[in-house]
Chain A
């Protein structure tokens, strides 16, 4: 089973990271799922692949009543992001899936009906969770052509999907980045190869650099907090991406 760690709490407004599954086979990329709760309702961010559904579901239900989930936020269309969608919907058919309008006709290949999907237009969307306003922030081409991050301005947390992801060795399994320089070595190759556009990256850094962020939470690897958030944005800004040696 995965472990849950509460990374922010103010009354019933919570951010819970669902991380590190010791039983997960190594050939599956490790992912972080996040649960945001407010006013008794919850939203799962990038709920993960079909293979890890039991691990995520049981970890989440130890922390929160899964029948009170209103939906899923999918940063993009990858299988490690939301191929478990059909299973969540089988448990709770009322759940909605927020995803870029580019993907709303593709994702039903993973499951869902016409009512399931709430398309996010290119410019973003305000998503209300029992009165808590969450913002879908454009992050197109980072790496997917229709890509969003989710910002909670009250918690000052930005869920950043694959941006900030690091493929860490087993010895570095901490929840937070502790040594930025040591950590970022495991992020560099990933960002250079996966992120498609320097122009898009520039705009993202500019946009996100102006936001008030305490924690930047990627879908793989460790969470950046405090000064490491700005450190990461500056590092990413300098990095040349969209490069492949072949």
Chain B
């Protein structure tokens, strides 16, 4: 039992740290979601502009449709990221709440070490702890995978935006405005890419 108690105590500070990390990730994802919303509007603008440019921007028109599909996919992807991150915040705060109570029980067990009912409580709690840890591990993996998917998608978006920049040059009298639209698009995609890149490196994913 002493070992079990020590293991439980050793785990304790982790929940607080995890919660702080997951909150940081949540903040960054909220920003990325905000930016991806902008992308949708930009893609619509690009389509509109390509239509106005007509045959002069046929290549750009094809790409702007692709960008629109990309922006919609990105939005779906962000929705699933948001759902996962909320589940993580919730799970980690449950663990934090649990640890707080476990702390109190640990202290009680130190004062009344041999009390069988108390030991039973501690045992039951450690089973619960285990369940939470497993659930969190699962969520952490899902979130990591979802971030990877988002990253792959954004890489593709980056390629599309860069091709649109090249196509813009053939847009004759519309070349300047096409270049501006595709440039902005590329800028936003890069911004999201940077955010996702740093999210993937969060120490929250370093655990199992």
Contact = CB atoms under 8 A, between A and B. Distances in A.
Interface of A: 1, 50, 53-55, 57-58, 61-62, 65-67, 86-87, 90-91
B20 A87 contact: no
Contacts of A65: 23, 27
A91 B86 contact: no
Interface in B11-47: 16, 19-20, 23-24, 26-27, 30
A50 B89 CA distance: 16
B90 A54 contact: yes
9 contacts: A50-B100, A53-B97, A54-B90, A58-B89, A58-B93, A65-B23, A66-B23, A87-B96, A87-B100
Contact of A62 (B16, B86, B94, B96): B86
B97 A91 contact: no
Interface string B90-103: 10011011001000
Contacts of B90: 1, 54-55, 57-58
Nearest to B24: A67
Given A54-B97, A66-B23, A90-B100, A61 B16 contact: no
Residue of A54, A55, A65, A67 with most chain B CB atoms under a 10 A cut-off? A54
Given A1-B86, A65-B27, A54 B94 contact: yes
B100 A57 contact: no
Contacts of B27: 65
A67 B93 contact: no
Contacts of B97: 50, 53-54, 87
Given A58-B86, A61-B26, A87-B100, A53 B93 contact: yes
A61 B94 contact: no
B100 A91 contact: no
The A interface is mostly helix, strand or loop, or mixed, namely helix
Nearest to B82: A62
Contact of A91 (B20, B24, B26): B20
Contacts of B96: 53, 87, 90-91
Given A62-B89, A65-B23, A90-B96, 17 more contacts: A1-B86, A53-B93, A53-B97, A54-B90, A54-B94, A54-B97, A57-B89, A57-B90, A61-B26, A61-B89, A66-B23, A67-B24, A86-B100, A87-B100, A90-B16, A91-B16, A91-B19
Contacts of A53: 93, 96-97
Interface string B55-69: 000000000000000
Nearest to A50: B97
Nearest to A86: B100
A62 B16 CA distance: 18
A1 B26 CA distance: 16
B171 to A, nearest CB: 39
A57 B24 CA distance: 14
Contact of B23 (A67, A87, A90): A67
Nearest to A52: B97
Contact of B93 (A54, A62, A86): A54
Residue of A53, A65, A90 with most chain B CB atoms under a 10 A cut-off? A90
Contacts of A90: 16, 96, 100
A62 B94 CA distance: 16
A66 B20 CA distance: 9
A87 B93 CA distance: 9
A86 to B, nearest CB: 6
B27 to A, nearest CB: 5
Contacts of A91: 16, 19-20, 96
A62 B20 CA distance: 14
Interface string B112-138: 000000000000000000000000000
Given A53-B97, A57-B93, A91-B96, A67 B20 contact: yes
A57 B90 CA distance: 8
